[in-house]
């Protein structure tokens, strides 16, 4: 399967925080096909363990997250429209005028759009449009009234997830889709598992994907407790700001060296290891100072403290229906991750942990 087809398959799956089952099923099928036996944590994270034959080998965890941002129905109005609460961070300005799918408790799929006030209805009113609160945005399934919506099985607590088609950009260098945050990570771990299938390693690897990252890094707290790694590598996508006049995160500039975010500062030993590995592997990298967090922020506080970092890429306009990301950035990140995991001997891990 070509890389674009793999990206398309993963990004068009609809799975938001707490409702990651469809992505988990996809990962499970692929993991088994690659010869691995997955196991699950108590919240639904999925992982495989590739055990080293080295005695007392260090334990290294590489984790994506499965969830994308979405919404949950909070109320059904008399006119049959819905109001919601967000699952993850949304800019209200990108929500209106979009297509979504509502999933009922029984799995029925209901097409939904978000309503925007047409300019015609503002003329002569003297009203200046304001940025809406998420709770005020109209989600409309074209039902006549609340009773009809209920007849179709819709209820409070149902989830609503963006629906888009994944396409290739005109220049063939980029892809446009939803949910690269963080189906990027999901594809990264699958590609890594394929690469490692016939290899013996000096470290035991725990490779998989967490749940509920977008709502507070919840899954990583559970999985790191369960698997007790010596080191943790999140694999996640961050926002590019290159089209907004900021050089912090540029498309096509390679994988990110995430030295800082509000919940995590990279330790010196990890920083030195990443810089040395990238230089040796001739991987294109860019320094990234983040304004949001990843599962590394939760993992590094787990157990007695777990040195952690994020192997990432950037994408434009994340947490929306249309994200743009660079194909070579993915390839650079994959090369980086392969070189990282194949060089983590007992001695190297001790060096990283010698802060």
165 is an active site residue? no
Tally of CB atoms within 10 A around 126: 6
Active-site pick, 213, 253, 276, 351: 213
300 marked as binding residue: no
CB 139 within 8 A of CB 71: yes
Predicted TM-score (pTM) of the model is: 0.96
Which residues of the chain, if any, have pLDDT below 70? 121, 126
236 marked as binding residue: yes
- 19: Cβ contacts below 8 Å, ≥ 6 apart: 67, 70, 103, 159
How many angstroms separate the CA atoms of 24 and 10, rounded?
11
246 marked as binding residue: no
Tracing tokens 């939760």 back to the chain, one arrives at 298
User: Which pLDDT does position 308 carry in this prediction?
Assistant: 98
Buried b / exposed e over 144-159, threshold 16 CB at 10 Å, is: eebeebeeeebeeebb
How many angstroms separate the CA atoms of 320 and 176, rounded?
11
User: Which pLDDT does position 33 carry in this prediction?
Assistant: 98
User: Which pLDDT does position 123 carry in this prediction?
Assistant: 72
CB 117 within 8 A of CB 49: no
Among 239, 233, 170, which residue's Cα sits nearest to residue 205? 233
Count the residues in the chain: 355
User: Which pLDDT does position 331 carry in this prediction?
Assistant: 98
CB 51 within 8 A of CB 201: no
- 124: Cβ contacts below 8 Å, ≥ 6 apart: none
* Both tokens assigned to 230: 């010596």
In the chain, the domains with their CATH numbers are: 3-68+178-353 (3.40.630.10), 70-162 (2.40.30.40)
230 marked as binding residue: no
How many angstroms separate the CA atoms of 163 and 165, rounded?
7
321 marked as binding residue: no
């Amino acid at each position: 399967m070509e890389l674009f087809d793999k990206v398309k398959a993963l990004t068009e799956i609809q799975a938001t925080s707490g409702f990651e089952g469809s992505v988990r099923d996809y990962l499970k099928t692929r993991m088994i096909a690659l010869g691995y036996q997955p196991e699950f944590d108590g919240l639904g994270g999925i992982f495989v363990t590739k055990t080293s034959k080295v005695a007392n080998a260090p334990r290294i965890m590489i984790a994506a997250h499965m969830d994308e941002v979405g919404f949950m129905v909070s109320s059904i109005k008399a006119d049959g429209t819905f109001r919601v609460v967000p699952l993850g961070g949304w800019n209200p300005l990108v929500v209106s005028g979009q297509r979504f799918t509502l999933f009922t408790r029984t799995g029925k799929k209901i097409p939904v759009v978000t309503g925007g006030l047409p300019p015609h209805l503002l003329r002569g009113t003297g009203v200046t449009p304001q940025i809406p609160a998420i709770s005020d945005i109209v989600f409309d399934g074209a039902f006549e009234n609340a009773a009809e919506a209920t007849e179709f099985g819709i209820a409070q607590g149902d989830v609503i997830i963006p629906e888009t088609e994944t396409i290739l950009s005109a220049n063939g260098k980029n892809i446009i889709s939803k949910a690269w945050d963080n189906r990027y990570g999901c594809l990264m771990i699958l590609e890594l598992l394929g690469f490692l299938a016939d290899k013996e390693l000096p470290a035991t690897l725990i490779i998989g994907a967490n749940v509920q990252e977008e709502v507070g890094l919840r899954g990583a707290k559970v999985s790191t407790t369960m698997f007790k790694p010596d080191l943790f590598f999140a694999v996640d996508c961050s926002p590019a700001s290159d089209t907004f006049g900021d050089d912090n995160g540029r498309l096509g500039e390679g994988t990110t060296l995430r030295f800082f975010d509000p919940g995590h500062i990279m330790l010196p030993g990890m920083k030195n290891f990443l810089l040395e590995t990238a230089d040796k592997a001739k991987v294109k990298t860019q320094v990234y100072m983040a304004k949001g967090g990843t599962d590394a922020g939760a993992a590094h506080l787990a157990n007695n403290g777990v040195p952690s970092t994020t192997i990432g890429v950037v994408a434009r306009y994340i947490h929306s229906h249309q994200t743009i990301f660079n194909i070579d950035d993915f390839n650079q990140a994959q090369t980086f991750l392969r070189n990282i995991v194949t060089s983590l001997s007992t001695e190297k891990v001790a060096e990283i942990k010698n802060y």
